[in-house]
Amino acid sequence: MQWLTFDQARRRCEQLPHATDLQYLSVEADFSQLYRDIPVEPDYVPPSDGSPSPVHRWYFAIEDRVASIEVEVDESYRELTVTLETPYFDRQRQSGDWTVLREFVGLPASIRLRRPHQIFYRCEKPRHVLYLPSGKGWYSPVYGAVSRREINELWDFVQQDPEKNPYVIGPPEPEGDWGLFVREVQGVVARGELHRVLRSGYGWSMRFPTLEYKAYDVSGVSPHVYHIRNGKVDGPQLLDW
């Protein structure tokens, strides 16, 4: 493993055999240790360079792979995760896009590769999904695949974390155009994928606990309905999909 400057990383990327899309991964990190573990100073990237808020960014190479690590400078935006960015490689089509995590095992232990929150993938119609339960009433998709074998291999990988992992495997989220409605307000206050709408509803209900929120599929594809009030999400869960 080699730490790189921005110019070194750019030159390495230019040597790749062909242009490729970028893959993003969000994994947990121990921020109290991370800055001590990485032996080089990060680049400061201001919002004017494309990110919504200032970030610290490191660049590194492991064999033929070049990647970056990105951390929000403002601790209030960090949540629990860092972002890893790297080109997709053709070899991942055979092994699964998630297997890039195996290539990153040389990173400092403060970057917890076996605690992913999101792994971008190229499968358009997954049949099996690894979820991270929120503990508050919704499941956040981490990774999807057509093959159950591929999801099982990722499951085995994350279960190697020394702490108990909460991940579960299930079917894809119900399709549809999910909207969040408030009885006292006309119109949609949030719209998108189911887990994002439920998370938004949870946040709103914590801010305004006396209001009742309802999430359902505006297009009518899915019959499921969720009721959210005072931080509690009631509705069909993973095994009901």
101, two tokens: 């995590």
Share of the chain above pLDDT 70, in %: 98
Q: Do 184 and 164 reside in the same domain of the chain?
A: no
* Mean pLDDT to the nearest integer, 123-150: 94
Q: Which two tokens stand for residue 146?
A: 């057509």
Q: Are residues 187 and 101 in the same domain?
A: no
The answer on 87 and 9 residing in a single domain is yes
Mean pLDDT, residues 99-117 taken together: 96
Measure the CA–CA gap between 69 and 83, rounded to whole angstroms. 6
How many structural domains comprise the chain? 2
Residues 145 and 203 in one domain: no
Q: Which long-range contacts (CB under 8 A, 24 or more apart) does 32-41 make?
A: 33/108, 33/109, 33/110, 34/71, 34/82, 34/108, 34/110, 34/111, 37/108, 37/109, 37/110, 38/3, 38/69, 38/108, 39/3, 40/3
Q: State whether 133 and 212 are in the same domain.
A: no
Shared domain for 135 and 151, answered yes or no, is yes
Report, as an integer, the average pLDDT of 231-240: 85
The arithmetic mean of pLDDT across residues 94-121, rounded, is: 95
Domain boundary among 170, 197, 218: 170
Question: Token pair of 53, please?
Answer: 């808020």
Q: How many CB atoms are located within 10 Å of the residue 221 CB?
A: 12
C-alpha span between 137 and 151 (Å, rounded): 23
73 in the same domain as 25:
yes
Examine the fold and report which residue of 147, 170, 193 is the final residue of a domain before the chain moves on.
Answer: 170
Q: Largest Cα–Cα distance of the chain, in whole Å?
A: 58
Same domain, yes or no: 13 and 65: yes
pLDDT of residue 213 exceeding 70, the answer is: yes
Domain boundary among the residues 137, 170, 203 is at 170
Instruction: Give the whole-number percent of the chain exceeding pLDDT 90.
Output: 69
pLDDT digits (tens, 9 = 90+) for 40-60: 999 999 887 767 789 999 999
- pLDDT tens digits for 186-210? 778 899 999 999 999 999 999 988 8
98, 36: one domain: yes
Amino acid at 23: Q
DSSP count for the chain of H helices, then E strands: 6, 15
Which band of pLDDT confidence, cut at 50, 70 and 90, is reported for residue 115? very high
Q: How far is CA 231 from CA 135, 167, 173, in A?
A: 11, 22, 21
Model pTM score: 0.90
| 133, two tokens | 């339960």
33 and 10, same domain (yes or no): yes
Q: What is the per-residue pLDDT for 211?
A: 87
Average pLDDT, the chain: 91
**Rounded mean pLDDT, 134-158:** 95
Count CA within 13 A, CB hemisphere, residue 31: 15
| Judgement on whether residues 191 and 137 belong to the same structural domain of the protein | no
Provide the pLDDT confidence category of residue 16 given band limits of 50, 70 and 90.
confident
The answer to whether residues 205 and 102 belong to one domain is no
The span from the CA of 8 to the CA of 66, in Å, is 10
Cα–Cα distances in Å, from 112 out to 33, 81, 203, 207, 226? 12, 9, 26, 31, 33
- The alpha-helical segments, DSSP class H, found in 64-147 are 92-95, 100-103
Q: Where are the alpha helices (DSSP H) in 74-133?
A: 92-95, 100-103
The boundaries of the domain holding residue 232 are 178-240
pLDDT over 70 (residue 19): no
**CA atoms of 227 and 234, how far apart (whole Å):** 5
